[in-house]
Amino acid sequence: MSATPKRVIPRLLQMVLVIAGAYFSFILLFDVLLGQLIPKSLLTMYMVFVVAGVVMVFTFTEEGAQELAGPIKALVEDPSRKMVRNVVFVIVPLLAGYYTYSSMLPSFEAPVELRTIHPAPPNKFKAYGKSYNLATLENPYRKFEKEDPAKFKALVKEGGDVYIKNCQYCHGDKLDGKGPYASGLNPTPLNFQDVGTIAQLQESFLFWRIATGGPGLPAEAAPWISSMPVWQEFLTEDEIWKVILFLYNYTGRQPRSWSHE
Amino acid sequence: MANKFALLALCSALFAVGPAMAKPGTAEKGKVIYDMRCTWCHGDEGDGKGAAKDHLNPPPRDFTSGNYKIRTSDFEDLTPNDDDIFRMIRDGMPGTAMPGWSDILTEQDMWDLVAYVKKFASYEKPPAKQVDFGTQISSSAESIEKGKKLFEEGDRCVECHGKSGKGSASKRLKGEAGERTWPRNLTKPWTYRGSAEPKDIFSRISTGIAGTEMPSFADPKSKKKLSIEERWHVANYVASLAQTGQKVSADNTVVKVSKVEGELPSATDDARWEKSEATTFYMVPQIIGKERYFLPSSDTITVRAMYNDKAVAMLLEWDDRTKSTPGDDSAGKLADTPIEQDGVAVQLPVTIPSEMQKPYFGMGDAAHPVNVWHWKSGGKDAPETVGILNSKGFKDIEKREAASAGLTAKSSYSDGTWKVLMVRPLTTASTDKDMQFVEGKFIPVAFAAWDGSNNSEKGSKHTMTTWYWLLLKPATGSKPLVTALVIAALFAGGLLWWARSAGNKAA
């Protein structure tokens, strides 16, 4: 490894390939696998970091830097490459001009909006005309899971009926956030099957989110665009707790609780 | 060549048989899955009387009726193939609440469900006869032309689906349980329940749709009977009706308002609209506040817009099978009484937000009021109207005259489609009450529609969109070109200087 071997792929080309690889991986990951188009501004930000990182790695040693710069220097200084140089010298300014022109044209690309999906809950909140303390609030029916499984099953069934009558339009029959009206909403409804949603939350958090709905969100979660109804206007406290039992039961997840942590 | 064909035939046979290699399912295992996943809509007894039954259109299938809408058995034999049921479970039914289950159920699970579900109607034997597909006639201009003729001849399909295929209502249709049903809007193939492949369309035409008024056109007793060949032509024609321009594209969230020289279009059928860029949004029923609206009849709205140095013109287009004209007897008969006016609305913030915070998307909020331009279709003896609402939430609404802001609207209705043209000056006299349009700024915009024939008598019973964007795109001007030239010249100069200094060094 001491003598620099003749590389199959020149180092400069390697670097370009790595950067291009990262670029297309982002597009593959977001646009194809996740099915959500990556906003241009976000992609630009990511690529700035990628390019900076790759350049740092490739120029980490003096040798590496020289090997990288070699072909470029040769292009400018080596008289035998005059023809290639002339071509490059025409193409580069044209590309720079084209990029400037296209980025200055007025565009219709929508601005990116970032919001917090699971905002920090308040200590206390008001619903049903009273105040709840989120730290001590518990699902009154959870205990029956161990104490009286038959009763628990019946409660889950009641919760399921509430869910199907009220929630499935958006959150879906499969609780995957893909109900019949989900695609018309932005932000899209939460997917309860996902390990990153209700499995990471306490039941009291769910109760707060359901009872006060979109308008009950703090500002960082953009309450003005959430389509979540204020469920205290439609459901009783009991119904909300039963729906919560159903959400965990159907997805096979367990709520987080203080006692387990 | 013959070999090639044999290979091709074998491959396509394998492909076609895919789901047909039915693994025998076990009804007992199916019941366990059914009770966990399906009972909520279809009911414990399979009778479609789950908790959601009154809030879904179409209602959940009643398996005890024995009617399966999407099947490939002969028209005279209501027994579905196992495959038909399997496909519905695996792929779901687009445009309904029935999702595809292949992501959380295994193939065996789904075959078990097939076995269980069939028992509700005591289907034990497979159907004796299948749909006869003959030889498929692939689509061509000629075939489509023949199909169109057959589609229209003697009102064969037009009777219910309308001349445009949009299913604009000419009579009330009923399902097996007495529920109101609507003919498919054939221009939106992504809402076909059983796929829009010509072969599937051929099946629907041949078997009819059990439990609805869609008859079999393979039935020799039918006056409207079609031969196999004719059915392929009609299938090709129906497939050609797709209006892909009306399909929602998820990354297209901006109403693109381009600047025009001279006058704005003053009619809904101005030829310039055809050339302007359209954006289509999903509309969902209002199920967020009281009174909730569960059985909507419109699903998308298509918006086009232009502006000049004086005003903005917006063309709103949406499908509505019923032109609701209060006072008109024939319209009244088609309506789910009492008939009301149709309507459409555009919602804009009174002040264009400079930060991320917008007004609450449902009629604004106390700190962030919205303008709502509300058009109503009028009645038999009443003209169409347009008004402005200044709203701070649905409980705090001030009604204003459209004239106060110079807002005008005019409409046209044709064969299942409303078009409404709204025009408003860029700026108005009351800057504190009306949004003032600004070039180059992203303006939040939302839409809503009312169908006066479909239970929309209450203000809250409408379909709506969430916030999207509207942008008045400034004319390009010469600045980008000049800057680009300067940058290109700088680059060229820099490179030349570099080459030169390198050349000097070498010398």
What's the CATH code of the domain at B441? 2.60.40.1190
Of the candidates B320, B301, B449, the one whose C-alpha atom is nearest the C-alpha of residue B375 is: B449
Q: What pLDDT score was predicted for residue A12?
A: 82
- Please spell the DSSP secondary structure of A22-40, one letter per residue: HHHHHHIIIIIIS--PPPH
Is the torsion defined by CA of B496, B497, B499, B503 positive or negative?
A: positive
Q: Please give the sequence-ordered ranges of beta strands (E in DSSP) within B161-283, or none if there are none.
A: 173-174, 180-181, 254-259, 279-282
d(CA B344, CA B387): 11
Asked if residue B444 and residue B332 are part of one domain, the reply reads yes
Which of residues B192, B220, B242 is at a domain's end?
B242
Domain shared by B264 and B236, yes or no:
no
C-alpha–C-alpha distance, residues B436 and B440, integer Å: 13
CB contact under 8 A, B104 and A181: no
Element (H, E) at B423: strand B417-425
CB of B348 closer than 8 Å to CB of B370: yes
8 Å CB contact of A184 and B495? no
Chain-chain contact of A173 with B97 (C-beta, under 8 angstroms) = yes
Residue B2 has a pLDDT of 46
Could you tell me which residues come within 8 angstroms of residue B85 by beta carbon, excluding any fewer than 6 positions away?
B68, B113, B114, B117, B118
Structural element, H or E, at residue A49: helix A40-58
Q: Is B430 in the same domain as B327?
A: yes
Regarding whether B496 and B465 lie in a shared domain, the answer is no
Among B356, B465, B498, most A C-beta atoms within 10 A, so best to mutate, is B356
Which residues in chain B are contacts of A214 at CB distance < 8 A?
Answer: 288
Shortest distance between the Cα of B259 and any Cα of chain A, in A, equals 12
Q: Determine, for residues A174 and B99 on separate chains, whether the beta-carbon distance falls below 8 Å.
A: yes
Q: Provide the whole-model pTM.
A: 0.85
Considering chain B, what percentage of its residues have pLDDT values greater than 70? 94
Q: What is the mean pLDDT of residues B360-374?
A: 96
Q: How far is B145 from chain A (nearest CA, A)?
A: 35
3-class DSSP assignment, residue B280: strand
pLDDT of residue A79: 73
Structural domains of chain A sorted by starting position, each given as residue range(s) with its CATH number in brackets: 11-104 (no CATH), 124-251 (1.10.760.10)
Residue B102 resides in a domain: yes
Assess whether pLDDT exceeds 60 at residue B321: yes
Residue of B nearest to A73 (CA): B502
A77 vs B289, B465, B506: nearest CB: B506
C-alpha distance from B83 to closest chain A C-alpha (Å): 22
CB B114 within 8 A of CB B106: no
Q: Which of B74-88, B138-152, B322-336 has the lowest mean pLDDT?
A: B322-336
d(CA B202, CA B94): 18
- Alpha carbon dihedral B154, B156, B159, B163, in 10-degree steps, equals -90
User: Who's near A173: CB < 8 A, 6+ residues apart?
Assistant: A164, A179, B37, B40, B41, B97, B98, B99
Residue B11 falls inside a structural domain: no
**Shared domain check, B468 and B394:** yes
Q: Kindly give the parts of chain A with pLDDT less than 50.
A: 1-3, 260-261
- Print the domain residue range for B312: 252-475
The CB density around residue A225, as the number of other CB atoms within 10 Å, is: 22
Confidence of residue B353 (pLDDT cuts 50, 70, 90): very high
Closest chain B residue to A39, measured at CA: B251
Q: What is the DSSP letter of A100?
A: H
Gap from A27 CA to chain B (nearest CA, Å): 14
Q: Do B250 and A179 touch (CB under 8 A)?
A: no
Q: Which of A180, A215, A219 sits opposite B360 (nearest CB)?
A: A215
Mean pLDDT estimate for chain B: 91
Judge if B294 and B442 occupy the same domain: yes
pLDDT of the residue at A43 = 86
Query: A interface mutation test: which of B33, B34, B39, B40 has the most A CBs within 10 A?
Result: B40
CA distance B128 to chain A (A): 34
Determine, for residues B357 and A219 on separate chains, whether the beta-carbon distance falls below 8 Å.
yes
Residue of chain A with shortest Cα separation from B367: A224
What's the pLDDT tens digit per position in A153-185? 999 999 999 999 999 999 999 999 999 999 999
pLDDT in tens, B114-159: 999 999 999 999 999 999 999 999 999 999 999 999 999 999 999 9
Q: What does the DSSP 8-state code read for residue B433?
A: T
CA distance B473 to B276: 13
Q: Check residue B430 and give its pLDDT.
A: 93
Residues of B in contact with A180 (CB under 8 A): 95-97
- CB-closest option in B473, B480, B506 to A108: B473
Residue B63 lies in a domain: yes
Nearest CA in chain A to B253: A110
Q: Kindly state the average pLDDT of the residues B256-275.
A: 95
Q: What angle do CA A77, A82, A87 make, to 5 degrees?
A: 115
Residue B248 contacts residue B281 (beta carbons within 8 Å)? yes
Boundary of a domain, candidates B119, B154, B171:
B119
Domain stops at, among B211, B242, B273: B242
Question: Do B88 and B182 sit in the same domain of this protein?
Answer: no
The Cα–Cα gap between B488 and B491 comes to 5
In a mutational test of the B interface, the residue from A112, A161, A168 whose CB has the highest number of chain B CBs within 10 Å is A168
pLDDT at B13: 46
Say how many domains are in chain B.
Answer: 4
Q: What is the C-alpha to C-alpha distance for residues B351 and A127, in angstroms, rounded to an integer?
A: 31
Among residues B358, B334, B301, B309, the alpha carbon closest in space to that of B183 is found at: B334
- Is the CB of residue B52 less than 8 Å from the CB of residue B40? yes
Neighbours of B154 (CB within 10 A): 10
Percent of chain B with pLDDT over 90: 76
Closest residue in A to B473 (Cα–Cα)? A106
At residue B15, does pLDDT exceed 50? no
Q: How far is A234 from chain B (nearest CA, A)?
A: 8
Question: Which pLDDT belongs to residue A151?
Answer: 97
Task: Tell whether B125 is covered by a domain.
Answer: no
Q: What is the CATH number of the domain that holds B89?
A: 1.10.760.10
The label of the residue with tokens 């030829």 reads: B271
Q: Contact, B438 vs B222, CB < 8 A? A: no
Contacts of A185 in chain B (CB under 8 A): 284, 466
- B300-307 and B254-259: which strand pairing? parallel
Q: Could you give phi then psi for residue B399, rounded to 5 degrees?
A: -90, 135
Nearest-Cα residue of chain A relative to residue B95:
A180
CB contact under 8 A, A185 and B284: yes
In a domain, B131, yes or no: no
DSSP strand pairing (B300-307 vs B279-282): antiparallel
Identify the residue with better confidence: B426 or B491.
B426
**Tokens found for residue B218:** 């393979």
Per-residue pLDDT tens digits for A59-90: 888 887 887 788 777 777 777 777 888 888 88
For residue B368, the chain A residues in CB contact (below 8 A) are: 224
Specify whether B417 is located in the same domain as B488. Answer: no
Please give the pLDDT value at position A69: 80
Q: How far apart are CA B335 and CA B219, in angstroms?
A: 32
Mean pLDDT of B182-187: 93
- Shared domain check, B206 and B259: no
Residue B458 and residue B328 share a domain: yes
Predicted local distance difference test score (pLDDT) of residue A27: 87
Using a CB-CB cut-off of 8 Å, the residues of chain A touching B489 are 93
Residues A113, B474: C-beta atoms closer than 8 Å:
no
Tokens 């609805």 belong to residue: B212
Collect all residues with Cβ–Cβ distance below 8 Å to B340 and sequence separation of at least 6: B324, B326, B450, B452, B453, B456, B457
The answer on B111 and B180 residing in a single domain is: no
Residue B27 confidence (pLDDT): 95
Residues B297 and B381 reside in one and the same domain: yes
pLDDT tier for residue B355 given thresholds of 50, 70 and 90? confident
Residue B134 forms part of a structural domain: no
Contact B488 A161 (CB under 8 A): no
